[in-house]
Amino acid sequence: MNSIRHIFVLIAALSLPLFSTAQGNLPSENVTVLKNFEAKLAEAERVEIQPELPSTDTVRLTQVYTLPFKTLSVDYPPPRIRPIAMPRDEVQEGYNGYLKLGVGIPTTFYADASYHLFNDELYDLGLRFLHHSTNNKKVDNQRFMFNQVGVDGNYYFDQGFAVNGRLQYTSDIVHFYGYNFDPDLEGRPIATEDIRQNFSTLDLGVGIFNSARTVADFNYSADADLYFMSDSYGATERGFNLRAKGTKWVNELHSIDIGLRTDFTTYEDTAKQNLNNFYLTPSFTFHGEFLKAKLGGIVASHEDEFFLYPDAQVTANIIGSSLAAFIGAEGNLQKNTFRSLSDYNPFIVSRVELRNTDYLHFYGGVQGNLKVLEYSGQVGYQQADDLAMYLVEDPPENDVRKRFVVLYDSVSIFNIRGSLTARPLKGLEIIGTVNQNFYDPANQEKAWHLPSLTINGSILYKTLEDQLLLKTEIFVENGVPYLNADGIADNLNGLFDLSLGAEYFFSDNFGAFVQINNLLDNKRRRWDFYPTYGMNVLVGASARF
């Protein structure tokens, strides 16, 4: 750029003499500059303009978009979840066989043995034998002997169902030793055969059930049981019970159940009696987070007469599992057979009348689980028609055998019951139950030989890595009402039984035990003329393999 400027100045300088020569005749004057020229603009008039916003367009335009439908295929890879290790409870070692042998005072022999064979996918088979006998030589013929042997098993098919079978024989021998406490029979020689009673029972059963979950979430089962029973005085009884049940699960929570049962009983002594019942039991059970409700009923039939009973219970959680309230109603026809009556009172006569107890029960209460404490309390009212009671046979068929006849009466029963289970420490368990009945018979003066108050309690403690088990038990029951020798209502003495026990395993397979029953030597008469044994001791050895 500077080079171009220099060339231009040089050309201008060379051209100057030419211009000077051409204008040589011009006049020359001196000019004096008095003031530099200053250019100015004349005053202008300002035009004021006020800007205005254009008016708002209030027209609302609606636009319609048309989008072509297209299905997108999105691939969702499975999430990678890392399992968290959870602590496991220690699994107790299982054993196929168990054996317990003992002897005691008064003269007692005890044997309990069982053995099981397993094939988880094909079958399981169990064998059991039980013997228990006692002879108190201080009281003539105060003795008993109980024997039971049985086998049961299941066979599983690949198609998802299984069949089972059961076979059991029971011999229950008792003696009518009540004559020892009748002053009129004092010193009279009594032959053992004259006061011996043997209840022999043979049980058979078969069944079928689904052993795997079905596609429709439907569980089914059907079984048939048959028994033959006889005693030492010519009484016989046979029973046939056929049951079928189906359960349909809804959303894996709620169940629809329906059951059908036929129960036939034939009893023969000097005459023949039949007691046949039919039952239909439909129900629906709802399981909610805070509410569980079972709504159902029982339709029972006997001798072409139909009976309808409720089978309902509603349980509501008030404070989670800590406190729940429940209310319910139930009823049924409960059979009184020679077998059930003699199981409750082995000193009954051989000639009994079979009847149904028609009962209706309304109840309500609370229950809960406080981690270390489980509890339940309930009150209820029950109306029972033809409730079985017991009185000494008068006059007796045989004056040596002190036996009981069965009476039936309609009874109103108000009931209070409660239970408690506490586990305050590892290995320690405390259990208690109480049951109080208030009987109001319609015809009889008292509810003969039926206890009104029963209290049971036990304390179990396992220690030394579960090798040692310590046990304390208590049983309390009021004296039952009976008719004394003058025909006046009275009460027998009550029960207060305190027992202690211990069992210790020296190794995984062998151990020893001791059981001391009735430490206070309470000779309570549960049945008139029949006091209990008092204090008795049983010691022995046990094995598992």
- The two tokens of residue 365 are 């209460």
362 to each of 280, 309, 378, how far by Cα in Å?
20, 11, 10
| H/E stretch holding 285 | strand 272-287
Task: Report the pLDDT averaged over residues 19-44.
Answer: 55
Q: What is the DSSP string of 123-182?
A: EEEEEEEEEEEEEETTSTTEEEEEEEEEEEEEEE-TTSEEEEEEEEEEEEEEE-GGGGG-
DSSP states along 520-544: T----EEETTEE---SEEEEEEEEE
Is residue 234 left, alpha or beta, with left meaning phi > 0 and alpha meaning psi from -120 to 50? Answer: left
How many alpha carbons lie under 13 Å from residue 530 in its C-beta half-sphere? 24
Q: How far is CA 390 from CA 450, 494, 528, in A?
A: 8, 17, 10
Six-digit token string for 152: 């049961």
Report the C-alpha gap between 352 and 341 in whole angstroms.
9
Whole-angstrom Cα distance, residue 401 to residue 185? 11
CB 470 within 8 A of CB 460: yes
Give me 10's structure tokens. Answer: 């040089």
pLDDT number for residue 20:
47
β-sheet bridge partners, residue 543: 99, 510
| Residues pairing with 517 in the sheet | 536
Q: Of 155, 188, 160, 192, nearest to 177 (Cα)?
A: 192
What is the structure's pLDDT at 120? 75
* pLDDT value for 15: 46
18-32, 106-120, 512-526: segment of lowest average pLDDT = 18-32
CA 489 to CA 480: how far, in whole Å?
Answer: 10
Q: Is 163 within 8 Å of 208 (Cβ atoms)? A: yes
| β-pair type (373-392, 404-422) | antiparallel
pTM over 0.85: no
Residues facing residue 544 across a β-bridge? 98
What pLDDT is recorded for position 22? 45
Average pLDDT of the residues of the chain: 90
Over the stretch 111-124, which tens digit does the pLDDT of each residue have? Answer: 999 999 988 789 99
Distance of alpha carbon 77 from its chain centroid, rounded? 42
Q: What's the pLDDT tens digit per position in 268-318? A: 998 999 999 999 999 999 999 999 999 999 999 999 999 999 999 999 999
Task: Kindly report, residue by residue over 67-79, the tens digit of the pLDDT.
Answer: 565 555 556 566 5
Q: In the chain, what are the helix, strand and coil shares in percent, each to the nearest 5?
A: 5, 55, 35
Q: What percent of the chain has a predicted confidence (pLDDT) above 90? A: 79
Residue 51 pLDDT > 70: no
d(CA 299, CA 278): 8
CA dist., res. 500 & res. 519, Å (int): 8
Residue ranges and CATH numbers for the domains of the chain are: 94-180+204-212 (no CATH), 181-203+214-544 (2.40.170.20)
For 321-464, list the strands marked E by DSSP.
323-336, 355-369, 373-392, 404-422, 428-441, 453-463
Length of the chain: 545
Helix (H, G, I), strand (E, B) or coil at 22: helix
Cα torsion angle, 393, 397, 402, 404, sign = negative
Tell me how far apart the terminal alpha carbons of the chain are, to the nearest angstrom. Answer: 118
pLDDT higher than threshold 80 for residue 386: yes
**Residue of 274, 434, 237 whose CA lies nearest to 355:** 274
